[in-house]
Amino acid sequence: MDSPFEKELLFSRMVIETRVKELAEQISKDYADREPLILGVLNGAVFFVSDLVREMSIPLKIDFIRAASYGSGGSSSGFVKFTKDPELPIRGKAVILVEDIVDTGLTINQILRKLRERAPESVKVCALIDKLERRDMDVVIDYCGFQVKKGFLIGYGLDYNEQYRYLPDIYAIVKRGDL
Ligand code: IMP
């Protein structure tokens, strides 16, 4: 079946691999004397988390949350609930929240707010992509893979209508027709 759009390679699997290793080294240094809880946001961060933790050189725990926007207007509503809660305890833990992409910043802000209610020792944000164009809210991204100015990206966990997450490289969609 014809793809409904053209796509343009943005970050190859090798470029991603190199950057993920650098992030893992940095986090391992920063958390050398601690055992962080790596909290991945499903589904988009699944490959990023699994590659990141396997490059880390410190003891750590892994858990996942799933967050869904509700209210009017999809992700831009800014109200998020956990449709999958963390299962490991958050209280007193050094949490590193791992996201695929930060766009407006609303989702990550809501997730952070909900996590902080659970009294972690600290929460830092690690995002593979920091997409700047539509940022509505201040977000501190402590560990950032790549910054992009704009565009809609797919691959390496990023989806378009739940498709294309499995692509090993990251592409920008080049719009075609009425997409
Ligand atoms: P935000 O609340 O606007 O920051 O939206 C963040 C969420 O929107 C991400 O976790 C993704 O699920 C989705 N998203 C935003 N931009 C993209 C993109 O370029 N590709 C795929 N998903 C995206």
- Please state the atom number of ligand 1 nearest to the C-alpha of residue 139: 4
Residue 105 lies in a domain: yes
Q: Which amino acid is at 45?
A: A
What is the residue whose two structure tokens read 């707010």? 113
Q: Say if residues 110 and 89 touch (Cβ distance below 8 Å).
A: no
Residue 141 pLDDT > 80, yes or no? yes
Residue 120 lies in a domain: yes
In sequence order, what are the beta bridge partners of 176?
A: none
Q: What is the pTM of this model?
A: 0.93
Residue 134 pLDDT > 50, yes or no? yes
Mean pLDDT for the stretch of residues 5-21: 97
Residue 56 lies in a domain: yes
- 99: domain CATH number is 3.40.50.2020
Residue 102 lies in a domain: yes
Residue 68 pLDDT > 90, yes or no? no
Domain hosting residue 123, numbered range: 13-149
Note if 103 is an active site residue.
Answer: yes
In sequence order, what are the beta bridge partners of 126?
A: 98, 143
Reading the block at residue 56, the tokens are 């880390």
Q: Does the beta carbon of 112 lie inside 6 Å of ligand 1?
A: no
pLDDT at 74: 45
Residue 37 lies in a domain: yes
pLDDT at 147: 97
Q: Which of 8, 47, 100, 148 to mutate to test the pocket of ligand 1 (most atoms within 8 A of CB)?
A: 100
Nearest CA to ligand 1 atom 16: 103
pLDDT at 18: 98
In sequence order, what are the beta bridge partners of 168?
A: none
Residue 171 lies in a domain: no
Question: How many domains would you assign to the chain?
Answer: 1
H-run or E-run covering 164: none
Residue 72 pLDDT > 90, yes or no? no
pLDDT tens readout for residues 148-160: 999 999 999 999 9
Residue 3 lies in a domain: no
To the nearest whole number, what is the mean pLDDT of the chain? 92
Residue 106 lies in a domain: yes
Question: Omega of the bond prior to 43 within 30 degrees of 0, cis?
Answer: yes
Q: Does the beta carbon of 105 lie inside 6 Å of ligand 1?
A: yes
